[in-house]
Amino acid sequence: MNLEIKNLDVAYGNGGHTIQALEDVNLKIDQGKCLALVGESGSGKTTLGKACLGLLTNNARQRGTILLNGQEIDTNDETALNTIRWKSVSMVFQNGAANLNPAHRIIDQVAEPLIQHGGAGRNEARGHAAKVLEEMGLPEACFGRYPHQLSGGQVQRVLLAMAMILDPGVLILDEPTSALDALTKGVVSRVIEEGRSRGKAILLITHDLEFAVRSADSVAVLYLGQIMETLPADELFSNPLHPYTLALKRSYPAMNSARDLGGIRGDAFYRTIHQHGHEDETDYLHSHIQVPESSHKDGHAPPSGCLFSERCTQAIEECQKGRVGFEQAGTHTVRCLRRGIVDMLELKGVEKGYDSVAALCPIDLLVKAGEIFSLVGETGSGKTTLAMTAAGVTRPDQGSRLFEGRDMDRWIKKDYKSLARRIGVIYQNPAESISHRFSVLETVAEPLTIHRVGLEKGERVERVKKCLADVHLSTDRAFLERYPHELNMGALQRICLARALVLGPRLLIADEPTSSLDPSVQAKVLKLLLDLQIERGLTMLFVSHDIGLVRKISDRIGVMLQGQMVERGPASSILSQPCHPYTRLLIESVRGAFSLELNRGNNRQYPAGCPFAPRCPERRDVCDKKPPQLRNIGHVQVACHFPVERPL
Amino acid sequence: MHINMSRDLWQDPWFLVGLSLTLLFAGLALLGPPLAPFDPWDISFTPISSPSAAHLLGINDGGQDIFSELLYAIRNTVAFGLLSGLTALVIGVLIGAISGWFGGFVDAILMRIADIILAIPAIMILILTAALFQPASYILALILASLMWPTIGKAIRAQTLSLRESLHVRAATQMGGGNWHIIRRHLIPEMFPLYLIGFAAKTRMAVFMEASLAFLGLFDPSRKSLGMMIAYALKYYYMEVWWNWLTPPILCLSLVIMGVTFLAISLEKVVDPRLREALVEKTA
Q: Is B167 near chain A, with CB under 8 Å? A: yes
A556-615 pLDDT, tens per residue?
999 998 888 889 988 888 888 888 888 888 888 887 766 555 555 544 555 677 888 888
Amino acid A192 reads I
DSSP A165-201: TT--SEEEEESTTTT--HHHHHHHHHHHHHHHHTT-E
Cα dihedral A198, A204, A209, A215, rounded to 10, equals: 0
DSSP B66-81: HHHHHHHHHHHHHHHH
Q: How far apart are CA B72 and CA B222, in angstroms?
A: 11
Q: What is the per-residue pLDDT for A219?
A: 93
Lowest mean pLDDT among A49-58, B84-93, B194-203: B194-203
CB A282 within 8 A of CB A202: no
Run of H or E residues at B276: helix B273-283
Low-confidence residues of chain A, pLDDT below 70? 14-16, 255-258, 263, 267-270, 272-304, 457, 593-607
- Which among B3, B174, B178 has CB closest to A481? B3
- Which of the 8 DSSP states describes residue A484? G
Q: How many CA atoms lie within 13 A of A611 on its CB side?
A: 24
With a cut of 50, say whether residue B278 has pLDDT above it. no
Contact partners, residue A459, CB within 8 Å, separation at least 6: none
Q: Is A432 near chain B, with CB under 8 Å? A: yes
Domain ranges of chain B: 1-37+243-284, 80-206
Amino acid B78 reads V
- Model confidence at B2, pLDDT cuts 50, 70, 90, reads very low
Question: A345: which strand partners?
Answer: A367, A403
Q: What is the per-residue pLDDT for A423?
A: 92
- Which among B3, B174, B277 has CB closest to A425? B174
Contact A420 B174 (CB under 8 A): yes
Identify all chain B residues contacting A436, using CB atoms and an 8 Å cutoff.
Answer: 273-274
Q: What is the per-residue pLDDT for A217?
A: 92
Identify all chain B residues contacting A447, using CB atoms and an 8 Å cutoff.
Answer: 175-176
B210-261 pLDDT, tens per residue?
888 888 888 877 788 888 888 877 877 777 767 777 888 888 888 988 888 8
As a whole number, the mean pLDDT across chain B is 81
Q: How far apart are CA A199 and CA A34, in angstroms?
A: 10
Contact A427 B167 (CB under 8 A): yes
| A406-407: strand order across its sheet | A357-368, A343-354, A398-403, A406-407
In Å, what is the CA distance from A353 to each residue of A31, A393, A397, A606?
A: 57, 15, 7, 15
Contact partners, residue A153, CB within 8 Å, separation at least 6: A179, A180, A181, A184
Distance from the A371 Cα atom to the nearest Cα atom in chain B, whole angstroms: 22
- Of the candidates A184, A193, A173, A183, the one whose C-alpha atom is nearest the C-alpha of residue A99 is A173
Mutate to test the interface with A, among B164, B168, B179, B182 (most CBs of A within 10 A): B168
Contact B177 A450 (CB under 8 A): yes
> B133: burial class by Cβ within 10 Å (0-12, 13-18, 19+)?
exposed
Q: What is the per-residue pLDDT for A541?
A: 93
Question: Using CB atoms and an 8 Å cut-off, which of residues 187-206 of chain B contact chain A?
Answer: 189-190
- Of the candidates A481, A12, A99, A523, the one whose C-alpha atom is nearest the C-alpha of residue A290 is A12
Q: How far apart are CA A64 and CA A73, in angstroms?
A: 11
Q: Is A485 near chain B, with CB under 8 Å? A: yes
Contact partners, residue B216, CB within 8 Å, separation at least 6: B127, B227, B231
Identify all chain B residues contacting A483, using CB atoms and an 8 Å cutoff.
Answer: 273
Burial A375-398 (b: 16+ CB within 10 A, else e): bbbbebbbbbbbbbbbbbbbebee
Q: Is B166 near chain A, with CB under 8 Å? A: yes
Identify all chain A residues contacting B177, using CB atoms and an 8 Å cutoff.
Answer: 446, 450
A71-72 and A60-68 as β-strands: parallel, antiparallel, unpaired? Answer: antiparallel
- Which among A419, A434, A439 has CB closest to B168? A434
Distance from the B189 Cα atom to the nearest Cα atom in chain A, whole angstroms: 7
Q: What is the per-residue pLDDT for B1?
A: 37
CA torsion sign, B26 to B28 to B29 to B35?
positive
Q: What is the per-residue pLDDT for A498?
A: 92
Distance from the A485 Cα atom to the nearest Cα atom in chain B, whole angstroms: 8
Q: Is B217 near chain A, with CB under 8 Å? A: no
Question: Using CB atoms and an 8 Å cut-off, which of residues 351-410 of chain A contact chain B?
Answer: 391-393
- Of the candidates A53, A63, A1, A9, the one whose C-alpha atom is nearest the C-alpha of residue A29 is A1
- Of the candidates B193, B192, B200, the one whose C-alpha atom is nearest the C-alpha of residue B257 is B200
Mutate to test the interface with B, among A450, A479, A495 (most CBs of B within 10 A): A450
Q: Is A452 near chain B, with CB under 8 Å? A: no
Q: Is A513 near chain B, with CB under 8 Å? A: no
Contact B174 A434 (CB under 8 A): no
- Which among A421, A432, A446 has CB closest to B167? A432
A170-174 and A89-92 as β-strands: parallel, antiparallel, unpaired? Answer: parallel
- Which of the 8 DSSP states describes residue A44? S
Burial A468-491 (b: 16+ CB within 10 A, else e): bebbebeeeeebbebbbeebebbb
State yes or no: ipTM above 0.85: no
Identify all chain A residues contacting B183, using CB atoms and an 8 Å cutoff.
Answer: none
> B86: burial class by Cβ within 10 Å (0-12, 13-18, 19+)?
middle
- Of the candidates A197, A239, A204, the one whose C-alpha atom is nearest the C-alpha of residue A219 is A204
Q: Is A433 near chain B, with CB under 8 Å? A: yes
Identify all chain B residues contacting A420, using CB atoms and an 8 Å cutoff.
Answer: 174-176
Q: How far apart are CA A201 and CA A31, in angstroms?
A: 5
Q: What is the per-residue pLDDT for A600?
A: 52
Note the helical H segments in A119-253: 122-135, 152-164, 182-197, 209-215, 243-251
Run of H or E residues at A545: none
Chain centroid, CA A611 distance in Å = 34
Q: Is B172 near chain A, with CB under 8 Å? A: yes
Identify all chain B residues contacting A392, using CB atoms and an 8 Å cutoff.
Answer: 174
Burial A166-183 (b: 16+ CB within 10 A, else e): bbbbbbbbbbbbbbbeee
Contact A436 B273 (CB under 8 A): yes
> B228: burial class by Cβ within 10 Å (0-12, 13-18, 19+)?
buried
